[in-house]
Amino acid sequence: MKLPMLSTDEKLAEIRRLYFSATRVTIHQDLAKALDLLKSMANEEERERATVYMEGLAQMRSDWAGRGEGFAGGSRGGSKRKRRNQ
């Protein structure tokens, strides 16, 4: 995905917008776009400013996927129990 040249403040504003507009249906795309924006930031200091929004997006994804709502990504590969050798 090619992103236009945005200033750090514009990138942060877009991540914030994604956070507040995320829904069960859009969370995976919103988080992917936010990660692309985060990766494009020049240094750790800039990325720290987006931490609260990124953690919030990740939590929303986790909450909604945990309830089985809005997950369109196919099988999650759930855990399988291992047999003990007896």
The predicted-structure confidence for 37-67, as pLDDT tens digits, reads as follows 999 998 999 999 999 999 999 999 999 987 6
Is residue 76 in some structural domain?
Answer: no
Q: Cα separation of 12 and 49, whole Å?
A: 7
Q: Cα separation of 70 and 77, whole Å?
A: 16
The pLDDT value given to residue 65: 87
Q: Please give the tally of structural domains in the chain.
A: 1
Is residue 21 in some structural domain?
Answer: yes
Is residue 14 in some structural domain?
Answer: yes
Q: Cα separation of 51 and 46, whole Å?
A: 10
Is residue 34 in some structural domain?
Answer: yes
pLDDT above 70 for 20? yes
Is residue 36 in some structural domain?
Answer: yes
The mean pLDDT of 9-18, rounded to a whole number, is: 96
Is residue 46 in some structural domain?
Answer: yes
Q: How many residues does the chain have?
A: 86
The mean-pLDDT minimum among 6-10, 53-57, 78-82 falls in 78-82
Is residue 80 in some structural domain?
Answer: no
